[in-house]
Each structure stands twice: as structure tokens, then as C-alpha cells.
């Protein structure tokens, strides 16, 4: 891991230390001299959340956070405090730091999460002045936190790092074939089984959605199948994760109306990256759950071979789809994967995709749109997981009337609805290809940011990896 996250039971002497306190009465008096306590109290009077004391041999920081109305809000405030701490540590050129909770609680875990995620950088393509962040090691100390918790968090944050790397990699270095190779290398390192179907195998399966989107390309599509099945898996039926893997999206012949932002379309495989990152975390932490991953991957380009508005294509399910907009390509490749998922007799299928601008416009970058046919308990568990990691979910309806938006006069359905409820009609399209409990997560607003946002950073965020991990671990112990 580029930022090493470790645990120690006892606080080392003369090491850069951050003491976490939630109130003035929680100040560990024994750690400070009388003069230092006087200085700290004066700073607290000034509402300073981060106080620094130079001990000559090392730096001592006091990080003050006030409890919020809920535990989830408190934990998010601690992550953001970790981000603020990161800015100070960079300014002070600190390479190693130890976090200790004066209240003997778990606050250090959440500060460490925000601190480590803030320390991410994507430098592998730089040849000059590629200076990595000076912070190299974060240690959590305390009696209320154990080594197992810190190791689990470390593996999860490394999964987010790897997911961000995949999202940030440009298209010329990440065709569908290269993506499948990168995913394979990543998850096999953790012990996940992988099979990659090539174009000939995809053709033999007659996956018309994936093949049609790929028509314009000189690069082959791929269909990657991941499986994590530990011997102690607690579920008899697998949970399936499906990730959209459009490695670059021009919009096809229905070319995107905002070409000045097309460089961001390398991120249209963020769902695929999230599936890979989630599998990495599950396997590294040996979560006892049988999970299948499906990643259909292709680019969506413009050429004389491209599928066109007005075409009717035959999907893997053998249903016909009238294509009215070639920029609604993600749902076509996901539909083939969702039908393929039926062979596993899954207890639940979750697809993750940067699917619609409508979802991003509806709730911004502050949350993830969710809809689905899974029962209310599953959706509640997902919402709880979202609150835990502050990847919050907003549920949209899937009323039967929305299916009317997709009626076609010449095919079984068309691939877009009208101007209204675009995110929902996209979800209804996907639902058509399911016959099992299913949830759709539209991460269009959260997967790739054009400006920095606290510990989520800028560009690829690794959105939904922590959400899925927390949800799946809850299912493993349910």
C-alpha cells in the first residue's frame, strides 16, 4: 500500500503523534506541560480544531472534533478531520504519524480513513517531478482498537486506491482487453478466480448488446467473470455484482453534446473498477461470502461500422431492442450481463454503473441513486451501509407506469425513454432482463469528480467500493 496503515498496542515515545479529543474535558493532562495546556486552552477558546505543538524531537497535534447528532455523522466528521490533518502534515513534511484516541474509542479508525484516502495520488504516468506525498505511514494506537480492525481497514483502503487507479488510467492504456488483464492481475493477487471471455466466446453466446456497442471499434470486447468462494461461505446462493465496463464513451453516432468534457469518459468503466476493487477487499479480508462478478467491457466509438439510431438489435436474452440513442449504451451491455447472471440462481444481483446524467443532475455528487426489486430489508441494509461509509443512497421508484416510457412500435422495447425520469427509465430497461432480487446503483454523480471534495479527492473516487464492502460483510454475518 502506498500509504502504510499499521497498528501498535503501545504508543512509541518521541514519535509524531495526533491525540484525538471530543471535548475540553477529555484532554489527557499527563501528555502536556502546564504551559502547553495553557496554550491548548487558549486555542480551544478560539475554536481551533487542530493544534500543533513542536516538541523538538517530534510534533504533537491535538485534533478536536465535536460529536454530531448521529454516529454516522460523527464518523464522517472524523474522516473530514483526517483530511484537514492531511493538509497540515503535508505542510509540516511529516512522513510518519501515530493516531491515538484520548477517549479510548474508535475515532482513530475514521480519522485514519480520511487521512489515508486524502493521501492518494496517481503518479505512474509522470516522468518528471513525480514526487509522491511525503506521508508514508499512519499508525493507529489504542486499547479499544485491535490489529484485525486496522488490517481490515488497510485492505479496504488499498482496494479504493486500486479502484481509483483503474478509473484514472487513460483509454489508450486501458482498452477492454487491457482492462480485463488489469482486473485479472488485481484480484488474482488476492485469491479470486477469474475467467475472461474473448470476442469469439461472446459471439457464440450471441450477446447482442455488448457486440452492437462494440461494432465501431477495432478493439475486441471482453466479458470477465470473477468468483470469490471461500470454503466457509455463509450463503448457499451467490450474490452477483455486475459492473459497467465502457472504457471510453464518445456517445457513438449520437455523439455527446459536450465534447469539451469527453476526456472524462475514460471513467465510464467506474462500475467495473468498483466491482474489481470490492472483490479485492473481500478476498484480502477473507469475507465468508460466495460472490460472483460480471464485467462486460468495450468502448463506444464512432465509425462506418457503428450501430446506429434506428437499428434493432437482438440481445443475449433473445429480446429485441430498438436503438434510439447510441449514447444509451451502458444499459445494453449491462442487460446482457444481467441475463447471464440468471445461470447462477443468485440470491441478489447488484449492478453498478455510471449510467445516466439524469441521476447526477437529480442528486449531484452527494449521493448514489438506487432502485430495484430486492426486498425492503436488503435495500435498508444497503442504505445503512451507505450511511456507515457516507456513500449515501437515494431510492428512486420503479413504478410499472415507467415501463411505458420504453414501448417500441417495432421491437420488444427501446433503449431510452422520454426527457423526463431518464434515470428511472434506464433502471426499468435493466429490470426487464432480471428475474431475481436486484438492485441498480447509478454512480454517475460520484465516480469521477472534476474538483476536489475532501478525502474523496479529484477525478476517480473509488465510489461504491466501501459501500459494497460494508453491505456484503453485513450479509456474511447476518
User: CATH 3.40.220.10 spans which residues of the chain?
Assistant: 4-143
DSSP string, 29-45: GGGS-HHHHHHHHHHHH
Residue found under cell 426489486? 373
| Cell (9 digits) for 211 | 457486440
Per the CB < 8 A criterion, the answer to whether 280 and 154 are in contact is: no
Q: What is the pLDDT of residue 258?
A: 78
Residues tagged active-site: 256, 331
Q: What is the pLDDT of residue 130?
A: 74
Q: What is the pLDDT of residue 1?
A: 59
User: CATH 3.40.630.10 spans which residues of the chain?
Assistant: 157-476
| Cell (9 digits) for 400 | 410499472
Q: What is the pLDDT of residue 23?
A: 78
Determine the CATH number of domain 157-476: 3.40.630.10
HSE at residue 294, side-chain half, CA atoms within 13 A, is 23
**pLDDT tens digits in sequence order for the chain, 478 residues long:** 589 999 998 887 889 999 999 877 778 887 788 888 899 889 888 888 999 998 888 899 999 988 999 999 999 999 999 999 999 999 999 999 999 998 878 999 999 999 999 999 998 898 877 778 899 999 999 888 999 999 999 999 999 999 999 999 999 999 999 999 999 999 999 999 999 999 999 999 999 999 999 999 999 999 999 999 999 999 999 999 999 999 999 999 999 987 678 999 999 999 999 999 999 999 999 999 999 999 999 999 999 999 999 999 999 999 999 999 999 999 999 999 999 999 999 999 999 999 999 999 999 999 999 999 999 999 999 999 999 999 999 999 999 999 999 999 999 999 999 989 999 999 999 999 999 999 999 999 999 999 999 999 999 999 999 999 999 999 998 7
Q: What is the pLDDT of residue 324?
A: 98
From residue 446, alpha-carbon distances to 64, 386, 436 in Å are 29, 13, 27
Is domain 4-143 classified as CATH 3.40.220.10? yes
* Chain center to CA of 14: 37
Amino acid at each position: 500500500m502506498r500509504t502504510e496503515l499499521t497498528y501498535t498496542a503501545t504508543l512509541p515515545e518521541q514519535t509524531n503523534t495526533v491525540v484525538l479529543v471530543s471535548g475540553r474535558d477529555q484532554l489527557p493532562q499527563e501528555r502536556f506541560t502546564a504551559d502547553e495546556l495553557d496554550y491548548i486552552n487558549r486555542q480551544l477558546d478560539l475554536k481551533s480544531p487542530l493544534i500543533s505543538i513542536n516538541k523538538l524531537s517530534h510534533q504533537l497535534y491535538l485534533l478536536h472534533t465535536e460529536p454530531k447528532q448521529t454516529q454516522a455523522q460523527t464518523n464522517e466528521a472524523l474522516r473530514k478531520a483526517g483530511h484537514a490533518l492531511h493538509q497540515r502534515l503535508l505542510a509540516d513534511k511529516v512522513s510518519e504519524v501515530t493516531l491515538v484516541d484520548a477517549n479510548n474509542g474508535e475515532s482513530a479508525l475514521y480519522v485514519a480513513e480520511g487521512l489515508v484516502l486524502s493521501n492518494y495520488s496517481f503518479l505512474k504516468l509522470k516522468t518528471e517531478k513525480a514526487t509522491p506525498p511525503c506521508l508514508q505511514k499512519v499508525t493507529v494506537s489504542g486499547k479499544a482498537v485491535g490489529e484485525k480492525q486496522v488490517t481490515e481497514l488497510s485492505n479496504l483502503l488499498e482496494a479504493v486506491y486500486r479502484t481509483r487507479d483503474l478509473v484514472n488510467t487513460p483509454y489508450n492504456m486501458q482498452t477492454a482487453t487491457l482492462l480485463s488483464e488489469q482486473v485479472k492481475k488485481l484480484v488474482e493477487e488476492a485469491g479470486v478466480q477469474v475467467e475472461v471471455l474473448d470476442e469469439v466466446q461472446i459471439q457464440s453466446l450471441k450477446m447482442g448488446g455488448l457486440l452492437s456497442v462494440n461494432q465501431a471499434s477495432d478493439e475486441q470486447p471482453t466479458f470477465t467473470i470473477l468468483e470469490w468462494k471461500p470454503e466457509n461461505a455463509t450463503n448457499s446462493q451467490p450474490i452477483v455484482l455486475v459492473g459497467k465496463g465502457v472504457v471510453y464513451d464518445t456517445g457513438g453516432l449520437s455523439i455527446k453534446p459536450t465534447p469539451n468534457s469527453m476526456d472524462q469518459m475514460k471513467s465510464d468503466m467506474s462500475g467495473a473498477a468498483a466491482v474489481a476493487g470490492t472483490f479485492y477487499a473481500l478476498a484480502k479480508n477473507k469475507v465468508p461470502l460466495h460472490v460472483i462478478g460480471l464485467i462486460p467491457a468495450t468502448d463506444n466509438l464512432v465509425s462506418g461500422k457503428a450501430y446506429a439510431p434506428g437499428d434493432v438489435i437482438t440481445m443475449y436474452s433473445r429480446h429485441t431492442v430498438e436503438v434510439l440513442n447510441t449514447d444509451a449504451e451502458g444499459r445494453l451491455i449491462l442487460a446482457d450481463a444481467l441475463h447471464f447472471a440468471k445461470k447462477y440462481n443468485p440470491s441478489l444481483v447488484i449492478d453498478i454503473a455510471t449510467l445516466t446524467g439524469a441521476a447526477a443532475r437529480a442528486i449531484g455528487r452527494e449521493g448514489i441513486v438506487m432502485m430495484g426489486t430486492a426486498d425492503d430489508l436488503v435495500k435498508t441494509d444497503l442504505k445503512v451501509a451507505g450511511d456507515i461509509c457516507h456513500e449515501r443512497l437515494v431510492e428512486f421508484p420503479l413504478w410499472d407506469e415507467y415501463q411505458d416510457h420504453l414501448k417500441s412500435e417495432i421491437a420488444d422495447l427501446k433503449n431510452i425513454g422520454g426527457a423526463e425520469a431518464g434515470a428511472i427509465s434506464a433502471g426499468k430497461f435493466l429490470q426487464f432482463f432480471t428475474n431475481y432480487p436486484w438492485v441498480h446503483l447509478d454512480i454517475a454523480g460520484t465516480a469521477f469528480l472534476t474538483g476536489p471534495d475532501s478525502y474523496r479527492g479529484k477525478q476517480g473516487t473509488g465510489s461504491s467500493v466501501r459501500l459494497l464492502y460494508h453491505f456484503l460483510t453485513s450479509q456474511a454475518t447476518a
